[in-house]
Amino acid sequence: MSSSDQLHINHWDNFFDDELHQRLYPTWWDAGTANHWRHRRFMEPLLDVLQTRDDSWLTVGDGSGHDSWLLLNDGFQDVLTTDIGAGTLRRSLAEGHIRKYAQANAEDLKFADGQFDGVLCKEAFHHMRRPYLGLYEMLRVARRAVVLIEPQDQWADFPTRVGAARPSYERVGNYVYSMSAREVQKIALGLNLPGYACKNMQDVYIAGCEFARADASDPLFARMTQAVAELQARCEQQQEKWNYLLTIFFKDPALLADAALQERLQALGWKVERTDTNPHLPPAAVPVPAPVAAQPDPLCLAA
């Protein structure tokens, strides 16, 4: 195990040793906070686009289980929560915020090919040492789609930041590996996936939003929504770079043929591209690179 992996495990195992985290944890399960409003926006690919309430979903790098909780709260029935460290997940399961979890390294998932209808990775890809290996694993265990929600590379895709890019690191030891629309396109083309959909998003975090109410009368929430609106306007005028990229990798060609789904994507401003266009291969015929299929993780715990 790498030192970075161990740091991530330690982060969740020792999470409640920190007084601030002790105070923050209960706020994550309050749907009325400004922070919940932020994260609800991130989940548009699943909650507003795919709307796959009856499909089975795997969350990767889910830390406290908050991503799973958002899905369960919105009517998703079958969600398995995973993270490389299970310290906080144990408490979230005991308190009823999630229904089941497994401790799992995204770069070596112990699940069978196509075991889940979909996989969600929200703000965890950039924590991985070998992020593309992690993404290939997610694509391997997904049957229909993989959803990736990540900070956007500020030095890729127009308009780009000026000057040289400098590496960014986090306290848990990882290099921040941000994504770009061009990278998404290359991955989908390289694997001859049926297609993908992308959408830019602007997010603003203000310290203390976990305790603020998602109400126009709350000063912090008012500041946050105003800042988001101003930055979005600048992005639309190409004066600013969008800071998040929402992505859906389609594995099931039927999703691209779903007229209602495509109508929702268009209405919400998503860019959709078909990528099983290699003239030397049949459409969507190339499987994702994968190790030998594994059995379900025996460490999976359920309430």
CATH number of the 3-157+168-302 domain: 3.40.50.150
Tens of each residue's pLDDT in the chain, 303 residues: 788 888 888 888 888 888 988 999 999 999 999 999 999 999 999 999 999 999 999 999 999 999 999 999 999 999 999 999 999 999 999 999 999 999 999 999 999 999 999 999 999 999 899 999 999 999 999 999 999 999 999 878 877 777 778 888 888 888 788 899 999 999 999 999 999 999 999 999 999 999 999 999 999 999 999 999 999 999 999 888 999 999 999 999 999 999 999 999 999 999 999 999 999 987 764 445 444 444 444 455 554
- pLDDT score, position 65: 97
**Termini Cα distance of the chain:** 29
pTM comes to: 0.90
| Contacts of residue 59, Cβ cutoff 8 Å, sequence gap at least 6 | 65, 67, 68, 71, 79, 80, 81, 82, 119, 120, 121, 122
Q: Which one-letter amino acid corresponds to residue 35?
A: N
Handedness of CA 43, 48, 50, 56 (dihedral sign): positive
Q: Where are the domains of the chain?
A: 3-157+168-302
**186/160 Cα distance (integer angstroms):** 18
Q: List 195's β-bridge partners, or say none.
A: 250, 274
3-state SS class at 79: strand
**129/187 Cα distance (integer angstroms):** 18
**The token pair that represents 295 in the structure block:** 């059995």
Which of 277, 141, 122 has the alpha carbon at shortest distance from 196?
277
DSSP string, 120-177: EEES-GGG-SSHHHHHHHHHHHEEEEEEEEEEBPTTSSSSPPSS-----B-TTS-B--
**246/39 Cα distance (integer angstroms):** 12
In sequence order, what E strands does the chain have?
Answer: 56-60, 78-83, 100-103, 116-122, 142-151, 195-201, 244-250, 271-274, 301-302
CB 160 within 8 A of CB 154: yes
3-state SS class at 72: helix
Q: List 113's β-bridge partners, or say none.
A: none
**51/74 Cα distance (integer angstroms):** 10
- pLDDT score, position 297: 46
